[in-house]
Amino acid sequence: MNDFSDRVLSWFDENGRKDLPWQKPDAYGVWVSEIMLQQTQVQTVIPYYERFMQSFPDVVALADADLDAVLHRWSGLGYYARARNLHAAAGIVRDKHGGAFPSSFEDVVALPGIGRSTAGAILSLAFSQRHAILDGNVKRVLARHGVIEGWPGKSAVVKQLWQAAERHTPSKRVGAYTQAIMDLGATVCTRSNPGCSACPVNADCQALQHDAIERYPGRKTKQAKPLRQTTMVLAVSNDAVYLERRPAAGIWGGLWSLPELTDGEAGDWCWQTLNSRNSGIEPWATLRHSFSHFDLDIQPVVVRVAGTSRKVADGDDSTWYRIDDSPPGGIAAPVQKLLNTLKTGGHVQNS
């Protein structure tokens, strides 16, 4: 029986893609592509990658660019935190590594946005150093082949997967192997309807032998989502609503939102925050918003602000937003919904 990596490499020589734009011994290009591929499929990434590399042909060009220009080039790929990390890391490479992408594992994994797997991918692909990788595709291949039980989010499970990854990683042709094992997971050992008959390691795939492919990798045991509650104030003065910018970190980071009331009541809030009396308080029906980890019940309360208190707001972090104007920035979906309701005047009142 051939070694695992030999079979994967032979399969790759026959079936793998070897002419992708980032498949060159250029660490910078490999890095950019790996970050893009963390979140997006190959076909989508290619045009973004080409444009990105034209705008920022090397790591110093990226470091010297304005973050806005980088985000603009990233626009459409989503997960903008990764573009911010890419830009920050480029600055570190320029300032701390003399503009040359580092080639030691410790230096690479220390860069923002690069963890163990991405560092392994870059170093094996660009520098032919023997490092294992463990992205979602590889996790699936290894969990099935070795019947590694449990959900890969659990540290005990991911530890076993890393051990298998290290064990299978060859010393020769390690860059080709990295590409090969990712391709295998992406095109053959797929989440649903895997092509086991075409798989180079089907002969000793434990899950296949037990006819239990669909059991691996293990799923997260889903638990009831917690329910949280908040009150959002729609402070209305003439045709404007008071908005606040949320802190950069956390939910809806940096987006504009309505002020939230954790305790106390809306009339006091109006007096304390806006130095204004109110001429009416009107609760609306609760609005439920679902996140991946919890549900949020929003209790909207409209507060009619008596007189004008415009001088209180209108800074970087708060503003009176005239509801017919274009918004001051990004607005979280449920907040937008409430603003639309306010604009059209229709709503269901609470009893």
**In this structure, are residues 254 and 245 in contact, taking their beta carbons and an 8 Å threshold?**
yes
Kindly state the smallest distance separating residue 108's Cβ from DNA, in Å: 10
**In this structure, are residues 227 and 302 in contact, taking their beta carbons and an 8 Å threshold?**
no
Site residues for DNA per CB under 7 A: 38-41, 44, 78-81, 85, 112-119, 135-137, 139-140, 152-156, 159, 190-192, 217, 219-220, 222, 249-253, 291-294
**In this structure, are residues 303 and 235 in contact, taking their beta carbons and an 8 Å threshold?**
yes
Kindly state the smallest distance separating residue 252's Cβ from DNA, in Å: 6
* Whether 214 is catalytic: no
Kindly state the smallest distance separating residue 243's Cβ from DNA, in Å: 17
Q: Please state the three-class secondary structure of 154-180 as a single string.
A: CHHHHHHHHHHHHHHCCCCCHHHHHHH
Is the backbone peptide bond immediately before 226 cis, with ω within 30 degrees of 0? Answer: no
Is residue 342 classed as helix, strand or coil in its secondary structure? helix
Kindly state the smallest distance separating residue 22's Cβ from DNA, in Å: 16
Kindly state the smallest distance separating residue 320's Cβ from DNA, in Å: 25
Pick the closer one to DNA by CB: 76 or 280: 76
Pick the closer one to DNA by CB: 172 or 225: 225
Please give the Cα distance from 33 to 43 (Å, whole number).
12
Q: Letter for the amino acid at 332?
A: A
Please give the Cα distance from 9 to 181 (Å, whole number).
8
Please give the Cα distance from 128 to 111 (Å, whole number).
20
Bridge-based pairing of strands 256-257 and 287-290 is unpaired
Please pick, among 34, 149, 214, 265, the residue that the annotation labels catalytic.
Answer: 34
Pick the closer one to DNA by CB: 18 or 159: 159
Pick the closer one to DNA by CB: 271 or 294: 294
Report the run of H or E that residue 333 belongs to, with start and end: helix 333-344
Pick the closer one to DNA by CB: 92 or 312: 92
Contacts of 85 (CB under 8 A, 6+ apart): 35, 111, 112, 113
Catalytically active residues are 34
